[in-house]
A and B are shown apart, each in its own frame.
Chain A
């Protein structure tokens, strides 16, 4: 295999300056609109690391997932998978590398071929990459389904005969059957019942511990990223606002947007809820079609200053190299505290 042997030296995924623009409107008339779904992001995922990518809907997080798995071609930037530049590989050149990256989609009702049985779905990656004999594949598929906690009897079933949770287990088995280095999970539990969500998240964590893959976990639910991620990147309007370890992000969020996001998350602890002021942002997320100067968050940020409206802040580490924030107001000396502001 083309996997570099120098271990931890090469990150599993290295994204630099990723841009994805979609253009809409007529090609003939002047009213062409460019939607900046992803507008220059950097992201690195190490071996065995689970990185959570959180953001509101429309923040571009799913587009990042599509670019990384090369289900779409980025407009600019570079994507390196295990050190190899895959940014502009053609479908045919990308094909052999697909054994190293797979994806789990949000909706398990539409992501599985309704005309294939569970067994066929899970063995398809093995078949397409010519792995093993028929019998080998059968046992690999059986092993994988067992790992995801799916009953043996369900193998000859069709996706519509399964529950949402069972389907997502099938999707997980299909994504992992080739033992890829990276799995992109695009809102894998958002379509499921809350009771099923926890069991799927636990399966992902167990499998990760067992197989050691890296994971880009995309979601809009803070409780989910808090449960699953080692590191978290917060996205807003196509850009990463803040990126740090899970503990740090939840303990001391620096970016005003992250602070607002965390204060909006429901909590089961009434004392914590009472102690916390809810920071209410005015307005909606601006249209990604509009070109916005300065910080993308300045239209809704309660502490924005003149500089925020004109100059785009870079994602940099201020005090701690592990904690990077894209905000002019965050300095080595500290960050604005929206909680205190809301209490005042």
Chain B
């Protein structure tokens, strides 16, 4: 009896982060997601150093298809598409990740406080969120970007602000359902301060919802940045961003479809990568998950 019990118990417990890493690495799709995301981060960080000047125009090779000299071809001004996609990755990833990070920090803070305490703060914030959620995400972002003016900082600000209401809504709902859990009553009986309850009980138990939200929001923000740039409200040419590359490509869709294919592929693969990474993280962070 005792032998059977002790056989199940590992001799030395693994630290928490190693268990999470182990669970994550047991999921092939999660690894695919991680590789994709890392690949695009590498492209954004290292790519521009390895490729030629993205603004260098070579009128000898205007609209040339992919070749050894220009692996992804050249655009209508003879600029190297690979160099422009790599430079665009910086702008797109920066806009997607930074705006989502800002929105999560602001939204989770406000949402958890609002849902945990309820009361007048929740009533007021709830109505404001209702009004803001009436605007579709992109319309709201376009409106804000138009008011703020076209620049990378303003694009990030516009995308962050327009994501905040959805994050507040999710965080508030999570806080409301978790505060009624018996383990929160237990924490109150422990003598825990409200701050500790929110940080140690509410936030960790809501984390998977936020990770899912982040993996949906980052790609949406990347597409948002592309849309704003496409509309001329974001980064201005000749600077490269995936949205700007698509804008330029649309006039030459018939002659040079690869101009749209490569930035489009970059957007699609980054989106896929973040989604897979998010699914994997959510499962790995759930202590009820197997292994």
Which chain A residues have a beta carbon within 8 Å of chain B's beta carbons?
A: 69, 71, 91, 95-96, 98-99, 101-103, 105, 107, 110-117, 124-125, 128-129, 151, 153-158, 160, 171, 174-175
Contacts and interface: CB of A to CB of B under 8 A. Distances in A.
Contacts of B5: 151
Interface in B153-187: 181-183, 185-187
Contacts of A175: 189
Nearest to A112: B183
A158 B287 contact: yes
B13 interface: yes
Given A105-B185, A160-B287, 15 more contacts: A71-B188, A91-B194, A95-B191, A103-B185, A103-B186, A111-B182, A114-B205, A115-B201, A117-B16, A124-B192, A125-B190, A128-B192, A151-B5, A151-B9, A153-B13
Interface in B174-228: 181-183, 185-194, 196, 200-201, 204-205
A95 B190 CA distance: 9
A293 to B, nearest CB: 35
A110 B192 contact: no
Given A153-B10, A153-B13, A125 B183 contact: no
B4 to A, nearest CB: 13
Interface residues of chain B: helix, strand, loop or mixed (majority): helix
20 contacts: A95-B193, A110-B183, A112-B186, A113-B183, A113-B187, A113-B201, A113-B205, A114-B287, A116-B200, A124-B187, A125-B190, A125-B191, A128-B190, A128-B193, A129-B191, A151-B9, A153-B9, A155-B13, A156-B13, A175-B189
A103 B189 contact: yes
Nearest to B16: A117
A100 to B, nearest CB: 10
Contacts of A155: 13
A255 B134 CA distance: 63
Nearest to A154: B9
A101 B5 CA distance: 34
A115 B194 CA distance: 17
B127 interface: no
